[in-house]
């Protein structure tokens, strides 16, 4: 671990305003905005079948990432060494191992390569994954081993998922299994953390900290299954090659998803705000975490199943 801390200290020793901005830009390729833009662009505009399969690949990968974080419970570098600065506190909640950003980026971009088999996509995937990995260490939120494990896991999952579902036409049974597993995993996560933290004083904030990330990722899986069901049964939109209409699809879609995210966050926080939790509030802790799950269910259902209804109504 000391060797890994030295790498981060060295990276931060060469800090300047230009590099701060550069690496904060690189790290965006592992965040929600870029992931939604890429998945939405493929699903809404390029190839719905590939977009659907790439999306479930990414969501499963991030669900596994959240589960591994709870298993390893590795504190982040800036928690272990006060000399290390966390440059992006807004994107560094939860534990450190493995890196969610590195795993997200590698799953998305190596997944694109697997499904489209274009050599330039392989080069793009390698470059982006490496840059995201370095940026997470520069920013002070991950060790070298975190980004290596996250990046390699993303590549492996992208490959295995392509081999499993890449050429299957009917995924209904697989989606049903995913739905059931996600619900069971959610109940297990809440129960396990409740039992392990249910001491003389229930640590409400710690409970939420332990369950937040996996609640969101399981929410994406459940929302995906519901959204696909809605789209196939009630929408069944088609891709086209009209550039300006596709641009509208992506821009409007990203806006609607993030508006949904913000609105429901504010509504749910009126009932159970995780930032206002105090000890001995087990019900509010579980409710706050469940609201994160529900918010991501709604976001994904909107993006995959409901938003495409507009394509025919406003002819885009």
**Digit-coded pLDDT (tens) for 146-193:** 999 999 999 999 999 999 988 888 888 999 999 999 999 999 988 888
Q: What per-residue confidence (pLDDT) applies to 92?
A: 63
Co-location of 307 and 194 in the same domain: yes
Whole-angstrom CA distances from 172 to 135, 159, 224 are 38, 21, 12
If you search the block for the tokens 């429901």, which residue do you land on? 264
Nearest Cα residue to 112 out of 65, 155, 64, 59:
155
Co-location of 37 and 155 in the same domain: yes
Q: How many CA atoms lie within 13 A of 200 on its CB side?
A: 0
Last residue of a domain, one of 145, 169, 193: 169
Last residue of a domain, one of 169, 184, 219: 169
Decide if 105 contacts 29 (C-beta within 8 A): yes
Mean pLDDT of all residues in the chain?
Answer: 90
Q: What per-residue confidence (pLDDT) applies to 114?
A: 93
Cα–Cα distance for residue pair 140/136, rounded to 1 Å: 6
24 exposed, middle or buried (CB, 10 Å; 0-12, 13-18, 19+)?
A: middle
The secondary structure of 290-310 as a DSSP string is HHHHHHHHHHHHIIIIITTHH
Residues counted in the chain: 316
Co-location of 204 and 281 in the same domain: yes
Last residue of a domain, one of 137, 169, 201: 169
Count structural domains, the chain. 2
With cut-offs at 50, 70 and 90, classify the pLDDT of residue 145: very high
Cα–Cα distance for residue pair 259/211, rounded to 1 Å: 24
Co-location of 165 and 178 in the same domain: no
Q: Quick one: average pLDDT of 63-92?
A: 82
Q: What per-residue confidence (pLDDT) applies to 211?
A: 87
Co-location of 148 and 264 in the same domain: no
Nearest Cα residue to 109 out of 91, 94, 127, 88:
127
If you search the block for the tokens 């976001």, which residue do you land on? 299
Q: Quick one: average pLDDT of 114-127?
A: 94
Cα–Cα distance for residue pair 149/130, rounded to 1 Å: 12
Cα–Cα distance for residue pair 115/72, rounded to 1 Å: 31
Nearest Cα residue to 133 out of 118, 117, 150:
150
Structure tokens at 52: 């659907």
Co-location of 135 and 274 in the same domain: no
Co-location of 17 and 163 in the same domain: yes
Co-location of 94 and 160 in the same domain: yes
* Domain of residue 240, residue span: 172-316
Decide if 44 contacts 249 (C-beta within 8 A): yes
Co-location of 188 and 294 in the same domain: yes
Decide if 123 contacts 175 (C-beta within 8 A): no
| Angle at which helices 282-301 and 243-271 cross, to 10° | 160
Q: How far is CA 300 from the centre of its chain?
A: 12
Tell me the pLDDT tens digit for each residue of 191-237. 888 887 767 778 888 888 888 888 999 999 999 999 999 999 999 99
Tell me the pLDDT tens digit for each residue of 6-55. 888 888 888 888 998 999 999 999 988 899 999 999 999 999 999 999 99
Q: Quick one: average pLDDT of 289-302?
A: 95
Q: What per-residue confidence (pLDDT) applies to 198?
A: 67
Co-location of 17 and 155 in the same domain: yes
Tell me the pLDDT tens digit for each residue of 249-271. 999 999 999 999 999 999 999 99
Q: What per-residue confidence (pLDDT) applies to 104?
A: 94
If you search the block for the tokens 């001491």, which residue do you land on? 199
Co-location of 4 and 55 in the same domain: yes
Q: What per-residue confidence (pLDDT) applies to 225?
A: 94
Co-location of 180 and 140 in the same domain: no
Structure tokens at 285: 């802790």
Whole-angstrom CA distances from 253 to 24, 39, 56, 299, 306 are 24, 11, 18, 11, 10
User: String of b and e for 121-146 (b: at least 16 CB within 10 Å)?
Assistant: bbeebbebbbbbbbbbbbbbbbbbbb
């Amino acid at each position: 671990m000391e060797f890994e801390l030295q790498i981060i200290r060295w990276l931060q020793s060469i800090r300047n305003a230009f590099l701060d901005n550069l690496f904060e830009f690189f790290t965006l390729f592992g965040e929600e905005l870029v992931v939604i833009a890429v998945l939405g662009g493929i699903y809404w505009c390029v190839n719905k079948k590939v977009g659907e399969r790439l999306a479930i690949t990414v969501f499963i990968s991030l669900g596994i990432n959240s589960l591994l974080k709870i298993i390893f419970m590795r504190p982040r570098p800036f928690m272990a060494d006060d000399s290390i600065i966390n440059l992006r506190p807004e994107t560094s909640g939860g534990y450190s191992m493995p890196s969610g950003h590195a795993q997200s980026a590698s799953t998305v971009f190596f997944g694109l390569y697997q499904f489209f088999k274009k050599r330039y996509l392989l080069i793009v995937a390698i470059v982006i994954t490496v840059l995201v990995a370095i940026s997470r260490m520069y920013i002070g939120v991950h060790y070298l081993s975190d980004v290596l494990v996250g990046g390699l896991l993303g590549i492996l999952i992208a490959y295995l998922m392509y081999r499993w579902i890449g050429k299957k036409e009917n995924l209904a049974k697989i989606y049903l299994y995913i739905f059931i597993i996600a619900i069971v995993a959610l109940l297990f996560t809440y129960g396990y953390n409740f039992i392990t933290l249910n001491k003389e004083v229930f640590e409400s904030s710690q409970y939420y900290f332990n369950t937040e990330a996996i609640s969101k990722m399981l929410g994406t899986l459940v929302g995906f299954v519901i959204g696909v069901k809605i789209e196939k049964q009630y929408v069944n939109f088609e891709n086209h090659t009209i550039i300006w209409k596709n641009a509208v699809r992506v821009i409007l879609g990203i806006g609607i998803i993030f508006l949904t995210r913000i609105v429901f966050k504010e509504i749910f926080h009126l009932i159970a705000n995780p930032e206002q939790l105090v000890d001995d509030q087990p019900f509010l802790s579980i409710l706050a975490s469940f609201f994160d799950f529900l918010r991501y269910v709604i976001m994904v259902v909107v993006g995959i199943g409901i938003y495409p209804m507009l394509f025919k109504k406003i002819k885009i």
